[in-house]
Amino acid sequence: MAILDWLKEIPLSAIYKERLVDSEKQIALLEKENAALKQENTVLKARLEKDGRTHKNKVINKSTQSHSGHLGEIKEKLSLILSKKEAYGDGEISNILGVTEKPTVNHSHGQSNHAHVS
């Protein structure tokens, strides 16, 4: 009798075959789960990107509305100033517009004199 014939008769080979079959089943399940998780990951990434764009647009719209309201007030005040025939000084115009003079340093020449909206 050859050695291979003896190995076939050893009960361990049946056990190893069973373990191999079980391992193959487990691998198939894990591959299926992996495919499902990859698909879910793709869907979640797309949703995250969409939600990020939506949030960004909301922030931009809110900021634009806030600034446009403030700019509208300044336009009204400027129209009022320009409609009057009186001469206004810089300080008076700043007061009417609600702009305060806050000195900021001009780094190129060491000068300061920029207006700041309050």
Q: Out of 27-41, 63-77, 95-109, which region has the weakest mean confidence (pLDDT)?
A: 95-109
Nearest of 88, 94, 58, 102 to residue 74 by alpha carbon: 94
The full set of domain ranges for the chain reads 12-86, 89-118
What's the predicted TM-score (pTM) here?
A: 0.40
Whether pLDDT at 101 is above 80: no
Average pLDDT over residues 25-33: 96
Q: Which two tokens stand for residue 40?
A: 């879910």
Tell me how crowded residue 112 is: count the other CB atoms within 10 A of its CB: 11
Whether pLDDT at 65 is above 50: yes
Q: Write down the pLDDT at residue 24.
A: 93
